[in-house]
Amino acid sequence: MAGGYDRAITVFSPDGHLFQVEYALEAVRKGTTTVGVKGKDCVVLAVERRATPKLQDPRTIRKILVVDDNIALTFAGLNADARVLVNKTRVECQSYRLNVEDAPTVDYLARFIARTQQKYTHRGGVRPFGISTLLGGFDTKGQPALFQTDPAGTYYAWKATAIGKNSKSVTDFLEKKYKEDLDEDATIKLALKGLLEVTEASGKNIEVVIIKQSGITWMPDESLEPLVKELDDTAEKIAKLKEQQ
């Protein structure tokens, strides 16, 4: 039991926990699975796309969001919190361009998002953002970079990682399969394979974006569907399980 220490965001429990932050991390763990992989000259973000009702416009449900010309963000957690945080980030991008007369780098934006999330962990009358984000873009040297932020306000650089539901299984898979300097096709395939570890194999369930220096490209469903079928090894896994039994 939290013993009442979860009622205020600014109060530590005797054993050093901020329970509201931990509850926000739990909201992230219940979010949709999200994968990011850094290649030689690109970053690929792949997310599980929830089925939309027949009468709903699918364009209003976006899990991958553009924050600048060649920086994209995806998240796991509460959609409304993500919308507010992304809007703050977009305003910061425009402010940076106005003041510095240059495009912001992905590490600058990762620091900004982490700083904003951290502000909401030590002020009364607010609650933490219930999201973790994956940011793909390019650093000051023009190299691709992948960053993760979490509700506590920490940020990390990754070569490949996953957040959301079943993220541990996907991260374990990426650790085994990741190689340095992957080309674009290999990066896309690795991200998709990681997502297919925990997601039903269908192009309609998956959204993929490729971030390059030239800009951001969404992978169309007609290209995604055959690739997902090619990478799907569900039948092989079932056969192996039957052999073991």
User: In whole angstroms, what is the distance from residue 186 CA to residue 95 CA?
Assistant: 36
Cα–Cα distance, 133 to 163 (Å, whole number): 8
Burial profile 207-221: b = 16 or more Cβ within 10 angstroms, e = fewer: bbbbbbeeebeebee
Q: Give, for 77, the enclosing helix (H) or strand (E).
A: strand 71-77
Catalytic site includes residue 121: no
* Helix ranges (DSSP H) in the chain: 19-29, 79-100, 106-119, 167-177, 184-196, 221-231, 234-244
Of the listed 10, 32, 52, 171, which one is catalytic?
A: 32
| Alpha carbon of residue 230 to chain centroid | 24
Rounded to whole angstroms, the Cα distance separating 50 from 204 reads 9
Kindly report the three-state secondary structure assignment for every residue of 136-151.
EEECCCCCEEEEEECC
Of 71, 52, 39, 93, the closest CA to residue 207 belongs to: 52
User: Active-site residue numbers?
Assistant: 32
